Chain A
Amino acid sequence: MKYFKTFLTALGFIALFYLIAPNRICGYLDAGTGSYIIQIIIAIAIGGAFGIKLFWRRIYGFFKKTPNKKEVNAKDKK
């Protein structure tokens, strides 16, 4: 199941690659062009997932940092 999901992700990713990759010739040629293009595609693909990751991390951090009543009372007594 895990591999199947990864496989589907990969398929979607490759499809995205061929969808976004431009064919028009009108600019500067250099060895880094391929790296530049793939970076944009990967970053777009990852961006949403990273946003969700950040969101959950903040939620987790919020509850983790919230001191419980016992801790607050102990601090007050000091």
Chain B
Amino acid sequence: MQKIKNNGTEPGSFRDPCGFLFYRDGSIHRQINTIYKEDYDHLINSGLYKTLVDENFLIPHEEVNVSAPEPEKAYKIIKPEPIPFISYPYEWCFAQLKDAALATFKIQKIALDFEMTLKDCSSYNIQFVKGKPVLIDTLSFEKYHEGRPWIAYRQSCQHFLAPLALMSYKDIRLNQLFRIYIDGVPLDLASSLLPSGTNFNFSLLSHIHLHARSQKHFADKQVKIEGRKISRLSFMGLIDNLESAIKKMDWKPGGTEWADYYEDTNYSTEAINHKKKIVADFLERTGPEIVWDIGANDGLFSRIASDKGILTISFDIDPAAVQKNYIHSVEKNENYILPLLLDLTNPSPGTGWENTERTSLIQRGPADTAFALALIHHLAISNNLPFAKIADFFSQVCKSLIIEFVPKDDSQVQRLLSTREDIFPDYTAQNFEIEFKKYFSIENTVGIESSKRIMYLMKNKRG
């Protein structure tokens, strides 16, 4: 992966004949092929590019004079603004996918004002940059030809409408279907999973249920499609209807109020304030540019880093916590925190062609600093992970580590042990240190006041 990032082609960029991404001296570049010349020139000259960039809907780029990897096809080379952390739809909460969808439809609407349209509608083309959903594929636009149906219609349903409907009407965990289906949720699957009541929702009936039936009906038929046109008004109506359907969707975790959702801790105010101070002090010592807070809950400790202008990826396994974290970040207009969904016991793998189109979590690291606060007991006791394996994992994802050891007599650990046999005689601070010292040097340890928990600052021996 490191070789690719120095001088190679981005493995996930091969489907579009209009161009591709490549790395040159560690920086991402995009070759634009001559077949895209007319569309690219229109994007720039019509003012659409400037409008979208000014409104933070499209990643800015500069045209550069760099030798093309495939010069016989090349029209131009552009250097897009780098994105510090790539995330994927299966790592987003409901509100993030919804915001990504609405941004896409807004871009489509603006594009039409400039006589252009989106030729693909992949959720992977959206990334969260400074807290906002931004289109990163500059080659997604083509000139609009009145009468032609929207080529990205199917993709818009598979990548946005269907997964959001499943998350909203069926089960929030169904966004994990993105992990299996690289081009969005198949509509026949979405149709079969959605409650029958969704047949009475015009948008879901038409764009998912009837759409799925239509796909099945015409799958083995050859159909003359030339001459079948839709007017500009109908085209706009289609986009507007998809956008309205998504705007109406919502998800709240089990009907509970956010404020009551994460009150279940055993910290005193004194302990939590002391823990915050320790994290801030340790952070001052490590001086990271990027932090991964693993097991971040609703981002309380992530914000110690992000409030200092450090990009902080705030991971949690609970969709409710991630949603709460994200909504908070949007309401406060926070630029340096990115809440993401992650099951650390089964982190995002490399997927797609050759397992390289979408990179694994580990490949997207290492972070300068990782937080593992109130996490170790969940990994070691709830998931039977030996300290050796936990230490090995963290040594792969961070250069320095701020980790909290929660002793066995802590009430939270006792709670985990209350319903199972204690088969963890090795779960001691001493063994924890022995295993972590194989990969890290322990720089500092501080006991949290009014608690038996210990905070460690560790430095990765690999550097």
Is A38 a contact of B211 with CB atoms below 8 Å? yes
Is B154 a contact of A32 with CB atoms below 8 Å? yes
* Interface residue? A6 (CB, 8 A): yes
- Using CB atoms, name the residue of chain B closest to A32: B154
CA distance A54 to B153 in the complex (A): 22
* Interface residue? B417 (CB, 8 A): no
* Interface residue? A53 (CB, 8 A): yes
Known contacts A25-B222, A26-B222, A53-B240; A46/B149 CB under 8 A: no
Residues of A within 8 A of B157 (CB): 35
Is B154 a contact of A6 with CB atoms below 8 Å? no
CA distance A50 to B199 in the complex (A): 21
* Interface residue? B462 (CB, 8 A): no
- Select one of B213, B223, B229 contacting A25, CB under 8 A: B223
- Using CB atoms, name the residue of chain A closest to B153: A39
Known contacts A34-B211, A37-B218; A22/B230 CB under 8 A: no
Interface flags for A37-54 (1: CB within 8 Å of B; 0: not) read 111101111110111011
CA distance A38 to B231 in the complex (A): 15
CA distance A39 to B211 in the complex (A): 8
Shortest C-beta distance, B120 to chain A (Å), equals: 12
* Interface residue? B192 (CB, 8 A): no
- Select one of A34, A43, A45 contacting B216, CB under 8 A: A34
Is B223 a contact of A35 with CB atoms below 8 Å? no
* Interface residue? B200 (CB, 8 A): yes
- Using CB atoms, name the residue of chain A closest to B211: A38
CA distance A48 to B48 in the complex (A): 28
Question: B149, B206, B231 — which one has the most chain A CB atoms within 10 A of its CB?
Answer: B206
* Interface residue? B45 (CB, 8 A): no
Is A33 a contact of B154 with CB atoms below 8 Å? no
- Select one of B214, B234, B240 contacting A37, CB under 8 A: B214
- Using CB atoms, name the residue of chain A closest to B199: A10
CA distance A40 to B238 in the complex (A): 9
User: How many residues on the A side are at the interface (Cβ–Cβ under 8 A)?
Assistant: 38
Is B210 a contact of A33 with CB atoms below 8 Å? no
Residues of A within 8 A of B210 (CB): 13-14, 17, 38, 42
Known contacts A43-B234, A50-B240; A21/B217 CB under 8 A: yes
* Interface residue? A24 (CB, 8 A): yes
Shortest C-beta distance, A54 to chain B (Å), equals: 8
Is A42 a contact of B222 with CB atoms below 8 Å? no
Residues of A within 8 A of B215 (CB): 31, 34-35, 38
CA distance A1 to B180 in the complex (A): 41
Is A36 a contact of B225 with CB atoms below 8 Å? yes
* Interface residue? B219 (CB, 8 A): yes
Is B200 a contact of A50 with CB atoms below 8 Å? no
Is B236 a contact of A37 with CB atoms below 8 Å? no
- Select one of A34, A42, A51 contacting B238, CB under 8 A: A42
16 A-B contacts, Cβ less than 8 Å apart? A3-B200, A7-B200, A10-B200, A25-B222, A26-B222, A26-B224, A28-B222, A33-B219, A33-B221, A35-B211, A36-B149, A37-B214, A42-B206, A46-B238, A46-B241, A50-B234
Q: Shortest 7 CB-CB distances between A and B: which pairs?
A: A50-B237, A47-B234, A34-B215, A35-B154, A43-B234, A38-B214, A34-B218
14 new A-B contacts at CB < 8 Å, known A35-B215, A43-B149: A6-B200, A27-B222, A27-B226, A32-B154, A34-B213, A35-B157, A35-B214, A37-B214, A37-B223, A43-B235, A46-B237, A47-B233, A50-B234, A50-B241
